[in-house]
Copies of this chain bind each other. A is one copy, B any other.
């Protein structure tokens, strides 16, 4: 069989499993998740063994030790992964929630219910733990999942999916609900992206180039995630000490994540007071500043910024910086260069805060807080499948409800629609 045939087989199996899984009550799904967690712990040997093949191949291929560490599984890490699955089991079930509902003037009872999306495709890089995390979130929300991880983790992912499928066999959740996309070629991703009608939504998790290629090529609806060029804007009315702490926290606390700050904008009125201090503090924190001319005037260590710097997601100890004349100029800069993830204002002015919130069109706007709080865990969602930076369906951190759609149900007594209004049959 060709890879395309293999893919279709797996996708059809997921589709059938999705139909079986969708109406299952919470107890059945939670029991299945606990069975998965148990199996991961029981069969840790087999998982770590498969992972060792990936690690050896990565080492042979000259992968950096940092990346190898992200890839590596051991007993403690597998136990953590199993623990995360149990946490997902503990979360409320989004399926069946009545989102809206009322009795219409004609007596029809109308309800809008949460239902699973169906089959969710996840394309991801990096760590094999995503294989289990994503599967657990999809199962809990009643969805079958097609997983397409990094080819560098193929042995690990194959073992993890095998263990999960075996565990599901003893439960009410069909084993077919968790599937690994067969193959490690670029073609195998394409099959997934072109599987309109079989796959209901694709969620790419990874760098900008992965996400852009999925968005461009997919005929399956996509939820874009995770690219974050986050801004910290220090307003004319900012408490400058607060601004400094927020800036440093947003940039330095974890520079490799999408909600870390990548650009500093400073109002001209406080530039003299703030920029030199910020340059000194950022240097002390090991951060390289890529500044426009007005920022560069304050310090010799400033690297001249070009257009690319302002559009960049560094994910490193680098930050772009510019001085702006007005709040509106800061907003225009964010609109032009930003990725509409999270942008923060530091200000004491209620008016400035309101205006910034109204004008900045991003998934999240922070007022006097670090951009690092844009996160499903911090927002109290309990778990997160990613952070959407698009406007359709879900925007910002996505928890379990974002993995659902809705269904309208209306119930009558023989309600008929006529040009003169509703008539009830037989009455």
**Chain A positions near chain B (C-beta within 8 angstroms):** 19, 22-23, 102, 104-105, 108, 110, 112, 115, 117-118, 196, 200-201, 215-216, 219, 221-223, 239, 241-242, 245-246, 249, 253, 335, 353, 357-359, 361-370, 372-374, 378-380, 390-393, 395-397, 405-419, 425-426
| A405-B391, A417-B370, A425-B245 given; A411·B364 CB < 8 A | no
| A373-B108, A391-B201 given; A367·B23 CB < 8 A | no
Q: How far is the CB of A59 from chain B (nearest CB, A)?
A: 29
Contacts of A412 in B (CB 8 A): 366-369, 373
Would you call A414 and B373 a contact (CB within 8 A)? no
Would you call B392 and A392 a contact (CB within 8 A)? yes
Question: Chain B: which residue is nearest A23 at the CB level?
Answer: B358
Contacts of A368 in B (CB 8 A): 411-415
| A369-B108, A380-B102 given; A417·B357 CB < 8 A | no
Would you call A395 and B391 a contact (CB within 8 A)? no
Known: A196-B215, A221-B221, A368-B414. 9 other contacts (CB 8 A): A115-B361, A249-B417, A364-B408, A365-B407, A368-B415, A369-B415, A370-B416, A392-B393, A395-B408
Would you call B418 and A253 a contact (CB within 8 A)? yes
Would you call A405 and B392 a contact (CB within 8 A)? yes
10 tightest A-B CB contacts, nearest first: A369-B412, A245-B425, A391-B405, A369-B415, A372-B417, A249-B416, A393-B393, A367-B411, A364-B408, A242-B414
Cα distance A367–B108 when bound, in Å?
10
Contacts of A110 in B (CB 8 A): 379
Question: Chain B: which residue is nearest A342 at the CB level?
Answer: B408
Cα distance A364–B109 when bound, in Å?
13
Contacts of A102 in B (CB 8 A): 380
Would you call B359 and A391 a contact (CB within 8 A)? no
Question: Chain B: which residue is nearest A340 at the CB level?
Answer: B407
Contacts of A200 in B (CB 8 A): 391-392
Q: How many copies does the complex hold?
A: 2
Cα distance A358–B22 when bound, in Å?
8
Question: Chain B: which residue is nearest A117 at the CB level?
Answer: B391
Would you call B246 and A369 a contact (CB within 8 A)? no
Would you call A414 and B361 a contact (CB within 8 A)? no
Q: How far is the CB of A423 from chain B (nearest CB, A)?
A: 8
Question: Chain B: which residue is nearest A112 at the CB level?
Answer: B396
Contacts of A406 in B (CB 8 A): 395-396
Most central of A108, A200, A406 by chain B CB within 10 Å? A108
* 15 A–B pairs (Cβ distance < 8 Å), ordered by A: A23-B358, A200-B392, A253-B418, A364-B409, A365-B409, A366-B410, A366-B411, A368-B413, A368-B415, A369-B410, A373-B415, A374-B408, A374-B410, A378-B417, A393-B393
Cα distance A201–B410 when bound, in Å?
29
Contacts of A353 in B (CB 8 A): 411
Contacts of A369 in B (CB 8 A): 108, 410-412, 414-416
Cα distance A393–B408 when bound, in Å?
14
Cα distance A222–B412 when bound, in Å?
33
Would you call B379 and A23 a contact (CB within 8 A)? no
Cα distance A409–B396 when bound, in Å?
10
Contacts of A249 in B (CB 8 A): 416-418, 425
Would you call B219 and A425 a contact (CB within 8 A)? no
Q: How far is the CB of A201 from chain B (nearest CB, A)?
A: 6
Cα distance A249–B366 when bound, in Å?
53
